[in-house]
């Protein structure tokens, strides 16, 4: 994804569920989509050391998974993962994670 003035923009090819690990390992940053969270993919990405940003909403589908996972492992507001409380925080967390990503 492009980062404030950056020139990099990658739109991944559609990949079946069997290549989730490869997709996660190739990622610089994981932005957990809302209003529905993808907790299993965030768990896999975090285990591989990929920075993750999530924004839990008010519904069950948006709160069940990534938020609890990241908070449980102590990653609520660290450089490697971030649980946003507002859409603005989600954007800032994404930019911060992209700038300090592992690649």
- Dist CA 95 CA 5 (whole Å): 11
Q: Is residue 15 part of a domain?
A: no
**21 in a domain, yes or no?**
no
Give the chain's domain count.
Answer: 1
Give the strand order in the sheet containing 30-32.
30-32, 52-54, 81-83, 77-78
Query: Where in the sequence is the domain holding 86, given as residue range(s)?
Result: 31-99
89 part of a folded domain: yes
Q: Is the pLDDT of residue 14 over 70?
A: no
Using one digit for the tens of pLDDT, what is the confidence trace for 34-72? 777 777 888 888 878 888 888 887 777 666 666 666 666
**Token reading at 7:** 């020139």
58 within 8 A of 47, measured Cβ to Cβ: no
Does the N-terminal peptide bond of residue 35 adopt cis geometry, omega within 30 degrees of 0? yes
């Amino acid at each position: 994804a492009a980062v404030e003035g950056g020139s990099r923009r990658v739109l991944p090819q559609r990949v079946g569920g069997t290549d989730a690990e490869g997709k996660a390992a190739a990622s610089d940053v994981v932005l957990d989509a809302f209003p529905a969270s993808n907790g299993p993919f965030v768990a896999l990405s975090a285990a591989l050391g990929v920075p993750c940003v999530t924004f839990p909403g008010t519904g069950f589908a948006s709160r069940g998974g990534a938020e609890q996972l990241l908070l449980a492992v102590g990653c609520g507001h660290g450089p490697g993962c971030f649980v946003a409380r507002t859409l603005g925080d989600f954007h800032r967390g994404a930019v911060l994670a992209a700038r300090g990503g592992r690649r």
